[in-house]
Amino acid sequence: MISDSLEGIIMNIVLLGPPGVGKGTVAEILTGKYKIPHISTGNMLREAVAKGTSLGTRAKVYIDAGQLVPDELVTTMVRDRVAQPDCSKGFILDGYPRTSAQARALQEFAAIDVVLNFTAPPKTIIERISGRRTCRTCSATYHIKYSPPKKEGACDKDGGELYQRSDEKPGIITERLKVYEEQNKPLIDYYRNEGLLSDIDASYHITEIGKIVKQCELTISKSQ
């Protein structure tokens, strides 16, 4: 059961939606409101790849090809993460599960209270992702249209080179969206049948992020 009062309550939230739909941005806002950690499997995987861990090396092959990382790799990572002390009062899980098999695996070690399904047109998502640029030295992020650097191609913070990640190129994005649609329909149906899923209209511009957050808050409140 979810409540604005968190004392004695475990609140486990799953965010669903294709890459670039804005889940991460909204998750950080919700984290501030509900005082539970935002767990992004995408960020965790990228960190593992950057560090060259065993899991990261195996995952890199799939990420570079715009494919989903196999269930067993991600499930192990998530199980270890939600067992950490900061998740004792709950968590906001972003990027997992992505298949009904992962959802069933998740049930074995964490009970989910509510699932927020973010949606937006493919054209909107491609524009959002393909415009991103990342600093090679400090990892600061920009967008060539919505939040460009002061100097083209250079980070405002340290002057580092800005680059486009391989998984942020239009062709790879299109493939990622195709894979997402094919593999996530059963998952969405699964959670909808469980009575846990609510659709969130995430097509609003970043300047109207409050409209997306409000939808999430109302859904969480109704699940009490």
Buried b (16+ CB within 10 A) or exposed e, 148-162: ebeeeebbeeeebeb
Clarify whether 165 is annotated catalytic: yes
Q: Rounded to whole angstroms, what are the CA distances from 186 to 100, 113, 200?
A: 6, 19, 18
Q: Which of 46, 128, 133, 176 is catalytic?
A: 176
Q: Which of 23, 46, 128, 133 is catalytic?
A: 23
129 token code pair: 């992702």
50 token code pair: 């950057």
Q: Which of 58, 60, 79, 165 is catalytic?
A: 165
- Asked if 204 and 211 touch (Cβ cutoff 8 Å), the reply is yes
Q: Which of 46, 128, 132, 133 is catalytic?
A: 132
Query: Cβ neighbours of residue 24 under 8 Å, at least 6 residues apart?
Result: 38, 40, 42, 94
Q: Which of 46, 98, 128, 133 is catalytic?
A: 98
**Active-site amino acid positions:** 23, 98, 132, 165, 176
